[in-house]
Amino acid sequence: MTELNSAASDKAAAGAMRAVFFWHGWSALMIAPVLLVLLLTGSAYLFDREFEQWWQQDSLELTPKGTAATLAQQQDFLRQQYPDWTINRVVLPDQPAHAVRWQLTAPDAVHLIYLDPYRLQIRADIDPATQPMAIVRRLHGELLAGPVGGYIIEWFSCWTLFLLLTGAWLWWPKHWRLSGVLVPRKRSDGRVHWRDWHAVLALVSSLALAFLVVSGMPWSTFWGKQFAQLGRDFSPQWHWVTPSPNFHLPDSVKTRAADPHHEHKMQAVQVHVTGGKESWVTEHHPAPASTHHHQPQIADISKVEPYLARLALDTYGPGVRIFYPATENDVFKINYVPDKAQGQQTLYIDPASGALLDDIGWQRYSALAKVVEWGTMTHLGRQYGVWNQWLNLLFCLLVLAALIAGLTLWWRRRKPGRWLPALQNTDSLPLGLKLSLLVLVILFPLLILSLLAFMLVRFWQNRIAA
């Protein structure tokens, strides 16, 4: 009886090992192309400001002379130069020797104007969508495929978490030792060599990869919107968990009425510019509405300039962008996103009266909103300065090396005519991994689609075999 139980236990353990190998390999092969794109574009994205400062050096850098024109004077100058265009936003320069960047919408295109504020001269007029770093951002966020690409990235990001869990299960040693567990074996060759390098590199970088995946999820196409919805569903009862700012506007201040066309109007001018993106928290929270109807084409930024003094620029550094009203009910928005998340601040100004409608700072974020914004700035390599950039780059390179080593190991181990090890009908994942997959499915519903597709394929294969 003992021998029978031992044999059954060994058979179950072998089946569990085959199942883990199968799911680990299947996940890896499925996400490898997208993960490769994300690693390469993410590595470049870490240095977006440095690259664009070099790329647009002739347009951006200037010699200060006299007193810079006010934003209102710059606005009036641009409206004289381009009377048929609409101003969308302005990104204030990081230093006095840089041009001010104004984004305008013409009837047929979006333009990014580099304006010398000292001489009121246009240094460059470019299409922001065609710039190298803009392409890198669209690759990183949506694979140049719009919302469909965003869904694909979100889908494979969820599977990356399960890939890390199955990899950890395969790595966990029966006998703890240094060689082959924490460092590659010196005299290993062939498959053992690639196995050790894959396991050790993945061990070193796995927590960083998990952090990058999780911290990027609030910006995802599907899950991010549902996550943000918590702020509207649970506020104010669960202040600590609501992703949106933990505040409510006074009864005297109206919020913007629900307009089914408003989102499309905003998307029409949302061409991402370095330093031109607002914070996640305020992006997903309804803005106050103007007290009077107005024409957004003639909104005057002079009503906004006095409020710039409320920003802690001396403490946290540059990062100011001002969004113009897009519709007759919209308001001016000053969005301050410095490198450190704790300095974030958003002010809403009525374009009709010039009144300050609200001032949202870090102290008014909920606990979870603070975690999201801290994670975002760390993800971007900005929260802790240059060390954050280079450490993120190092982890990206380590993950890339682990990915290459793993694919090489798979290529050497594969059987002729098979991409993955055979999976028997009785093979089953260990209970811990099953529960982990269940939790991931609950947290990230897009996983259900791929699981259903897998089950349909297996069902069809079994019918053919029968």
Name, in order, each residue with C-beta under 8 angstroms of 191's C-beta and a sequence gap of 6 or more: 409, 412, 413
Q: Kindly report, residue by residue over 305-315, the tens digit of the pLDDT.
A: 999 999 999 99
pLDDT value at position 2? 59
pLDDT of the residue at 131: 92
Span 186-202, pLDDT tens digits: 766 677 878 888 888 88
Task: Report pLDDT digits (tens) over 373-389.
Answer: 999 999 999 999 999 99
Residue 134 has pLDDT above 60, yes or no: yes
| Mean confidence (pLDDT) of the chain | 83
Residues 398 and 204: beta-carbon distance below 8 Å: yes
Residue 5 has pLDDT above 90, yes or no: no
Across 179-184, average pLDDT: 73
Asked if residues 324 and 348 have their Cβ atoms less than 8 Å apart, the reply is no
Reported as a pLDDT band with limits 50, 70 and 90, residue 89 is: very high
Say yes or no to pLDDT of 463 above 90. no
Side by side, the strands of the sheet bearing 110-116 are 121-126, 110-116, 100-105, 86-91, 320-323, 332-336, 345-349, 356-361
Say whether pLDDT at 334 is over 60: yes
Report the alpha-carbon distance of residue 11 to residue 433 in Å, rounded. 18
Q: Which of 282-291, 311-320, 363-372 holds the top average pLDDT?
A: 311-320
Q: How far is CA 96 from CA 29, 65, 69, 122, 318, in A?
A: 49, 10, 12, 16, 11
Contact 65, 119 (CB under 8 A): yes
- Rounded average pLDDT over 241-268: 40
> Which three-class secondary structure state does DSSP give residue 274?
coil
pLDDT for the residue numbered 240: 52
> What is the pLDDT at residue 40?
96
CA distance 217 to 161: 12
CA-based nearest residue to 279, from 208, 354, 193, 218: 218
The reported pLDDT for the residue numbered 423 is 73
| pLDDT above 50 (res 268) | no
pLDDT at residue number 36: 95
Least confident of 154-168, 171-185, 225-239, 261-275: 261-275
Q: Is the pLDDT of residue 275 over 50?
A: no
149-175 burial: b if 16+ Cβ within 10 Å, else e: bbbbbbbbbbbbbbbbbbbbbeeeeee
On whether the CB atoms of residues 430 and 16 are closer than 8 A, the answer is yes
Give the residue-averaged pLDDT of 263-272.
43
Q: Compute the average pLDDT of residues 425-449.
A: 86
Residue 283 scores a pLDDT above 80: no
DSSP character string of 99-137: PEEEEEE-SS-EEEEEEETTTTEEEEEE-GGGSHHHHHH
pLDDT confidence of 104, banded at 50, 70, 90? Answer: very high
